[in-house]
Amino acid sequence: MSKQIGVIGAGSFGIALAFLLSNNGHEVTVWSRSQASVDKLIAYHGNEEKLPGVILNDSVKFTSSMQQAVSGKDMVVLVVPSAHMRETVKLVAPFIDTESDDQPIIVNCTKGIEESTLMIMSDVILDELPGARVCVLSGPSHAEEVGKKLPTTIVVGAFDKETAKEVQNVFMNDVFRVYISPDMLGIEIGAALKNVIALAAGMADGYGLGDNAKAALITRGIAEISRLGMAMGGKFESFAGLSGIGDLVVTCASMHSRNRRAGILIGQGKSMQEAMDEVKMVVEGVYSAKAALALARQYDVDMPIVQGVNEILFEGKSVEEGITELMIRERRIENSSLDW
């Protein structure tokens, strides 16, 4: 059954999801903040700069009016940078009645943690829209590949199975497989923190380290993510799944990853700002790094890779110093649950 869907955010992933959803037979309206950007979207019928070659169906509408993008929709898909999530939801809120039985499902596709509050994105949404029907869509899903209809598998987390299954049905097709899960917290923590580890993996690549080092960063990175996520209440299965190890592997290994690309540039000697300017997209790992370290301290969880990334990004430590400090840390058992 066709749904009315508003996609809030016209970056690469917003356009990729609009492409997917319209091809699935749904009526899609894409919102972008300025009329100038909307004019460009209309002219190309897509985002020529951020997702070239992906042309959306003629039925897709573009608007800078939040009312037009949200009012009367069955589903609202949020695809905005984490730093702008709260202000965007404030714009959405006047057009959603959370006391109505007909309120839309809010699908969060943003991977990040709000630095000032240490909230995951779903909690930010609920803070501004109490009672909203919120879920999260996450997993290894580069926009460039979704736009080419290459096989992709993701997971939808929701508070109730009915919501999860409805989103599953709307998004899923023969090249976009959707699983469901009740562990929204675990999914969002995995999604946010993998960007920080991807920065580290990129730094290792840029500095010229080999596959051994990359494998170690991915493996020890998921250990750090899992420790924190489980301390916060997430489930181990999520960190071993698509939104954990799945998203971490693709983000650490692919040149589609803006976090890895930024890390490579930093590993080659560029500053954080120079790297972000060259990537020309939002590097979420930079925004999540401080929040991840603050959460680690709050929950008393050891996260040496996350700490090292923060020191390189914000305290002037060199990549070489960061690597050396990781390698000469105190000797220890790999898994504290296994002992003699």
Residues that are catalytic: 194
Q: Please give the structure tokens belonging to residue 80.
A: 């905005």
Q: 61 and 38 in contact (C-beta within 8 Å)?
A: no
Which residues of the chain form beta strands (DSSP E)? 4-8, 27-31, 61-63, 75-78, 105-108, 133-138, 152-158, 176-181
Contacts of 239 (CB under 8 A, 6+ apart): 186, 190, 222, 225, 226, 229, 230, 245
Which whole-number Å values give the CA distances from 220 to 58, 74, 103, 108, 213, in the listed order? 46, 41, 42, 28, 10
CA–CA separation, 253 and 218 (whole Å): 10
In one-letter notation, the amino acid at residue 122 is S
How far is CA 100 from its chain centroid?
29
Q: Which of 246, 129, 143 is closest to 187 using CA atoms? A: 246
C-alpha torsion angle, residues 50, 243, 156, 29 (rounded to 10): -10
**Coarse DSSP helix, strand, coil percentages of the chain, rounded to the nearest 5 percent:** 55, 15, 35
CA–CA separation, 240 and 228 (whole Å): 14
Contacts of 39 (CB under 8 A, 6+ apart): none
Neighbour count for residue 24 (Cβ, 10 Å): 17
Q: 23 and 57 in contact (C-beta within 8 Å)?
A: yes
Overall size of the chain counted in residues: 340
